[in-house]
Amino acid sequence: MRPAMVGLVCADRWPVDAARNGDISGGESDSGRMTNAPHWGTISSSAPEPSRQSQHVVQFYEADEFLADSVGDFLSAGLDAGAPCIVIATPAHRADLERRLVADGLDLATAQAHGDYRALDAAETLATFMSGDTLDAARFAEVIGGMIGRAAQGHEQGQQSRRGQQGQARQPHVFGEMVALLWEDGRPSSAIELEALWNELSASLPYPFLLCCAYPMRLLAGEANAEQFATICRSHSHVIPDESYSALTTTDARTRAVTRLQQKAASLEAEIAERKQAEERLRISENRYRRLFEASTDGLLMVDPDAQTVIEANAVLATWLGSTPARLQGVELWQTSLFPSRAAMLELLRELEEQRIARRDVVLASAEDGQVRSIEFVSTRFRANGHDIIQCNLRDVTERNQLEARKNAFISMASHELKTPVTSLKGFTQLLQRRLQRQQVDPQTMLFLDRMDAQLNKLTGLISDLLDVSKMQEGTLPYRETRFDLDELARETIENVQAAITTHQVRIEGATGAQVSGDRDRLGQVLINLLTNAVKYSPGADTVVVRLSADQQWAEVAVQDFGIGIAERHHQRIFEQFYQVVEPQEGGYPGLGIGLYIAHTLVERHGGRLWLESRKGAGSTFHFSLPTLPHLSPAVEESSVIAEHAEVAQ
């Protein structure tokens, strides 16, 4: 083992000079280590040099191994020159360094015993002059300055006085990691402040010393650290890049590396600029979304379907629920009073999982303003950023429902009020027809009376449809249930309709052979409606086909026309009240848009189904199906008719 003083140094050169000469890093070291640390070995404190000054070097590194090699060289150079060394590092780095120095052949135990090598714990040393986030400059000068001063003068315990040939103090070599510790701890400004304290100390101490700080490069990565990184570099007299640069041995290799780094920096800058723009766009869109969300007059709710909790609710909804957006966050969905029970919420979530959309109507009584609100509640489940999310839009439809109720009440009242005078008009018209027929008045008067009668029939039909609609809404439409033969009803209805039209031939195909149960007149009304529509909406055709068919359970009636057809986008709404297809190029057709609504309600009331197949310009086929009854023996059939009559009589 070589003593610390042996193997002295070459030239008195600093990394910065070396860098100027294109020779900052060392190439392969004599110990054959894997990394090529800078030539600390070429930095000597031994040469008699009256102008020697303190130096403050920073070493960046990626791997701990590289740090141990680099700082090891720095300390070796010092020990070899007979200078005292002070290491203020983490326990792991102290251990690495000491292993490395011993492997280098240094007699560390002797150096330690002579007070030439002193190792301190970085965190503990930091704690001696720092409380909370505050660095105590005076205390720093006292603790650290005192230690360096004593080392420089050879006054450390056990230190033999080994002043230079001209009686100069030896230049202590100090390696410190307290700054990196602060940075790692998320306090980069304190690290910068501590670097400044070191600089003040080196300016004020009468003994020059060599100080080496080290930062792992990973701590400094990122655009956010750019400015502080520049400050750190400015705080040091020499900056040594990490191993990715220092490992390069030739000037050409370094020039190439610098060029690569410049290109990388330029791309990163471009990337950062792009990212900033994207972030700005995102921020604008986020703000826009936020404004929409917060200022919406509809209630909005975002729900986590897995946790079944509220992610976010807007102010309007929070008011309806007697809460605040903040209080609603994280609340279990079923506890928001939008559901009568947990089971009801689970039912909605199941529906959303299967169909992605679900609709509910709820009534909310707000504790806040005492209002009772009818709420239409539409939920959709979708995937965003790899997660499923539920969005609920809630609309206060109280006013709309009230208007709807008023409109229904008006229709009901108007149709009742109209019915009596129209019935009386119809009665008097018929009376007049009979009288004038007996008096054999001129044919033109009779024709006028016939037209009046036909118009009154139309009016009566409209009024009775309106009355049906209001009774359906009130749930008071009477049904007279009987058992009857569906084919017979179809034939009879077709004959009656055919008798009133001259433009079209209604052709009947097939038979159901089915007995059904229901209100015969009402089901006849369904078929009349489909037939009159078929004629009305096929002005260019002359045929309507009625197809009858059945299987074991269902009898089906299909009415096909060859008219204007209905575009697919209307199919879903065609059975709604007052819905009429308006196609500008087709002109208008008279009507109220309630015939299909009535037909649909009647068929559904009989346990059946009404649907359509149609394309614009290609005619329409309206189908309705009804559940069939099993055929009865003639004797039973007779008794059932009696029972039906009795039921009708009730």
Beta partners for residue 463, in sequence order: none
Q: From the list 596, 603, 610, 626, which residue makes contact with ligand ADP (rule: CB under 6 A)?
A: 596
CB 242 within 8 A of CB 233: no
Place of tokens 């230049």: 171
* Least distance in angstroms from the C-beta of 538 to ligand ADP: 7
Nearer to ligand ADP, 276 or 573 (CB): 573
**Is residue 566 involved in binding ligand ADP (CB under 6 A)?**
yes
**Is residue 564 involved in binding ligand ADP (CB under 6 A)?**
yes
**Is residue 563 involved in binding ligand ADP (CB under 6 A)?**
yes
Stretch that binds ligand ADP, among 17-25, 152-160, 529-537, 602-610 (CB under 6 A): 529-537
Nearer to ligand ADP, 37 or 526 (CB): 526
**Is residue 621 involved in binding ligand ADP (CB under 6 A)?**
no
Token reading at 438 = 């007996």
Burial class (CB in 10 A: 0-12, 13-18, 19+), 213: buried
* Least distance in angstroms from the C-beta of 597 to ligand ADP: 6
The vertex-528 CA angle with 526 and 534, nearest 5°, equals: 105
Rounded Cα–Cα distance for residues 241 and 225 (Å): 16
Nearer to ligand ADP, 219 or 418 (CB): 418
**Is residue 624 involved in binding ligand ADP (CB under 6 A)?**
no
* Least distance in angstroms from the C-beta of 467 to ligand ADP: 15
Place of tokens 């058992």: 483
State which residue has the least CB distance to ligand ADP. 591
CB 623 within 8 A of CB 571: no
**Is residue 620 involved in binding ligand ADP (CB under 6 A)?**
yes
**Is residue 472 involved in binding ligand ADP (CB under 6 A)?**
no
Stretch that binds ligand ADP, among 49-57, 424-432, 504-512, 556-564 (CB under 6 A): 556-564
**Is residue 506 involved in binding ligand ADP (CB under 6 A)?**
no
* Least distance in angstroms from the C-beta of 496 to ligand ADP: 18
Amino acid at residue number 89? A
**Is residue 364 involved in binding ligand ADP (CB under 6 A)?**
no
* Least distance in angstroms from the C-beta of 293 to ligand ADP: 39
The vertex-207 CA angle with 204 and 213, nearest 5°, equals: 80
DSSP 525-583: HHHHHHHHHHHHT-TT--EEEEEEEE-SSEEEEEEEE-SS---GGGTTTTTSTT-----
Nearer to ligand ADP, 103 or 618 (CB): 618
Q: From the list 593, 618, 636, 647, which residue makes contact with ligand ADP (rule: CB under 6 A)?
A: 593
Q: Which residues contact 357 (CB under 8 A, 6 or more apart)?
A: 378, 379, 380, 381
Q: From the list 457, 580, 605, 641, which residue makes contact with ligand ADP (rule: CB under 6 A)?
A: 580
**Is residue 561 involved in binding ligand ADP (CB under 6 A)?**
yes
Stretch that binds ligand ADP, among 108-116, 166-174, 215-223, 592-600 (CB under 6 A): 592-600
**Is residue 640 involved in binding ligand ADP (CB under 6 A)?**
no
**Is residue 533 involved in binding ligand ADP (CB under 6 A)?**
yes
Read off the DSSP letter of residue 157.
Answer: T
* Least distance in angstroms from the C-beta of 478 to ligand ADP: 22
CB 341 within 8 A of CB 348: no
* Least distance in angstroms from the C-beta of 419 to ligand ADP: 19
Q: Is the dihedral of CA 319, 321, 322, 327 positive or negative?
A: negative
Least Cα distance to 126 among 106, 110, 143, 111 occurs for 143
Stretch that binds ligand ADP, among 238-246, 308-316, 443-451, 563-571 (CB under 6 A): 563-571
Token reading at 384 = 């965003």
In three-state secondary structure terms, 165 is: coil
Nearer to ligand ADP, 299 or 563 (CB): 563
- Calculate helix-pair angle for 520-536, 486-500, nearest 10 degrees: 40
C-alpha 503: how far from chain center = 59
Rounded Cα–Cα distance for residues 516 and 627 (Å): 7
**Is residue 55 involved in binding ligand ADP (CB under 6 A)?**
no
Residues binding ligand ADP (CB under 6 A): 533-534, 537, 561, 563-564, 566, 574, 579-581, 591-597, 620
